[in-house]
Chain A
């Protein structure tokens, strides 16, 4: 769809970004030690850290991706919310306190605390970089998606803007500024999503079918965009979609419910009829066409599993395994994400780590409940862009007012800043602290450690920008699923076994991290989803039975660790690899 920027939107957006970057410069005025740069001196208050957890974790995938998935496919998007939150249970009950006690700056510090092995540091640093880069991609894609309607600029400009802002945030004050940016972002996100949900409930549900004629978007061989055969212009564009066809019979001839309570809203929607739109792709000499057509569906069908994960209703075993694998990866992946784990080093002790996790769960849980209402509100708002699932939440806000749209878009953009800065911090620590200092053994003064981390942050910022432009057409939730799979397969087996199995050896940890990472990465690259969406090949050509690797590669990580540890038990712990 064609978007126009508004001065209000630009002003709010600019003030948000300038405030965040200004805060970073202010925090960065003080001289910095390595401990300050990588772990905020371990002096962050547990409540601030808890909200910063929310700011770190609630990424573009959570806000843009889940809302979009619920808006277009119904209940299945909410399954992501459930899985993303469940992972925090592993973090709280299993990981939080031990990781705080074991580590210093990076995830590798914790895994290597018992062995002091270069091999462990190398394997974990590489796994940290791979996971962080896979997680960076959807954040940058989300940033690009936001900038199009907000400022009327091309997608690539949004990606570059985020890359530059985040690099500035990290380079100026490291973990201190990253923490405060995440705290502000987490607070704003949960608060304004609550405001938006209140407005959805106050508006209730209104019948508004709009035009139901199919609409076709064509990309001509010369690159021109056509809508229904005519060049796309401001006045001739795709119509926004997503409407309510009929209210439940108990409303008689009424076309609007008026304000509804939260459970009442869900109940009425379930008994209503909703018009969703889906696109069918074709290709001929005139170009590549996508024809969007309306389908009237029962609310009850949209509010049960199977709208997106088709295998849940077809009964095909491979599809069921694919879904089970994703949900396992979401459960195991949160506590294995390096950018989340390093946040435990910013509080003073294990009790503070525990308390901050509980605060994080409260904020994140509240947000995920709100995603259900935001997604369903967008589904019936008549404002969806049929070409972009990621724009559902901001366009829902636009259905209320331009100002709210600007605020929500600016918050979404800040959302990306918060998460990306955490990811770049994790990657920067992996490069400077783990690889350069500990693996290569290059001695550095405190000042040089900070400088090396900043150089690594700049490099990662550039990589993030390039990937955000390359992966533009992907749904951000889908991409985050990959990152969770790799993190859970590479990191969780080693971390859990190190903590709870005394016969774990350094060779076992190295093997588990390496095999888990490579196996999950290889599985993803050979999956049907990648064949279709990345290589443009037929799904049938994929050699693996289902796309999500976790169901195979997480147990494989545990198995490899146990076997290798048993085979290498003779070597006394403590020797350098």
Chain B
């Protein structure tokens, strides 16, 4: 097995904490969307932005949000796992 070069436990813990925070943000967005689909589908038919309806906008928004959160996580991990981070 290739030798793993792991950051130390404290830094890994901080990265995991950031991951959990972002995870719960997405859980809120995703299940909030599912709740709307289940209980207020009429809201999703509305077109608050004029063009596409809220069903399409929120669906596309969830996909974009997943990408944005994952990029935020990758950048945050790079920062907290960097040895320079502790010195700052």
Q: Which residues of A contact B (CB under 8 A)?
A: 35, 39, 41-43, 75, 78-79, 81-82, 85-86, 88-90, 92-94, 97, 100-101, 104, 263-264, 266-267, 270, 300, 303-306, 312-313, 320, 323-324, 327, 331, 348-351, 354-355, 357-358, 361-362, 365, 368-369, 372
Contact = CB atoms under 8 A, between A and B. Distances in A.
24 contacts: A43-B2, A79-B37, A82-B63, A85-B63, A86-B62, A88-B66, A90-B23, A93-B19, A93-B22, A94-B23, A263-B52, A270-B47, A270-B52, A270-B53, A303-B53, A303-B55, A304-B41, A305-B44, A324-B34, A348-B4, A349-B2, A351-B77, A354-B77, A358-B71
Given A82-B33, A304-B53, A368-B63, A89 B41 contact: no
Nearest to B45: A304
B66 A350 contact: no
Nearest to B37: A305
Contacts of A94: 19-20, 23
B80 to A, nearest CB: 12
B56 interface: yes
Interface in B33-68: 33-34, 37-38, 41, 44-45, 47, 51-53, 55-56, 59-60, 62-64, 66-67
Nearest to A41: B2
A358 B20 CA distance: 16
A85 B20 contact: no
Chain A interface SS verdict (over half): helix
A361 B70 contact: yes
B70 to A, nearest CB: 5
B85 to A, nearest CB: 14
Nearest to A323: B38
Contacts of B7: 351
A320 B37 CA distance: 9
Given A89-B69, A94-B23, A266 B52 contact: yes
A425 to B, nearest CB: 18
A267 B52 contact: yes
Contacts of B16: 97
Contacts of A266: 51-52, 56
Contacts of B41: 304-306, 312-313
B37 A323 contact: yes
Contacts of B34: 324, 327
Given A93-B20, A305-B37, A351-B81, 12 more contacts: A42-B2, A75-B55, A88-B66, A93-B22, A312-B41, A313-B41, A348-B2, A349-B4, A357-B70, A358-B71, A358-B73, A358-B74
Highest count of chain B CB atoms <10 Å: which of A92, A320, A357, A369: A92
Chain B interface SS verdict (over half): helix
Contacts, number: 130
Interface of B: 1-2, 4-7, 12, 15-16, 19-20, 22-23, 26-27, 30, 33-34, 37-38, 41, 44-45, 47, 51-53, 55-56, 59-60, 62-64, 66-67, 69-71, 73-74, 77, 81
Nearest to B52: A266
B37 to A, nearest CB: 5
Contacts of B12: 97, 350
Nearest to A301: B45
Nearest to A268: B51
A81 B59 contact: yes
A101 B53 CA distance: 44
B75 to A, nearest CB: 10
A497 to B, nearest CB: 15
Given A89-B69, A300-B53, A349-B6, A35 B1 contact: yes
Contact of B74 (A75, A100, A355): A355
A474 B70 CA distance: 34
A201 to B, nearest CB: 14
A82 B59 contact: yes
Contacts of B73: 92-93, 354, 358
Nearest to A360: B70
A171 to B, nearest CB: 24
B55 A304 contact: yes
A499 B15 CA distance: 15
A323 B34 CA distance: 9
Given A89-B66, A93-B19, A312 B37 contact: yes
Contacts of A331: 30
A361 B27 CA distance: 16
Contacts of B74: 354-355, 358
Contacts of B6: 101, 349-350
A361 to B, nearest CB: 5
Nearest to B51: A267
Contacts of A372: 56, 59-60
Contacts of B63: 81-82, 85, 365, 368-369
B65 to A, nearest CB: 9
Contact of A324 (B2, B38, B45, B69): B38
Contacts of A348: 2, 4
B56 A303 contact: yes
A362 B65 CA distance: 11
Contacts of B64: 365
A82 B7 CA distance: 33
A550 to B, nearest CB: 12
Contacts of A39: 1
A566 to B, nearest CB: 24
Contacts of A324: 34, 38
Nearest to A376: B56
Contacts of B52: 263, 266-267, 270, 303
Contacts of A81: 59, 63
Contacts of B47: 270
B59 A93 contact: no
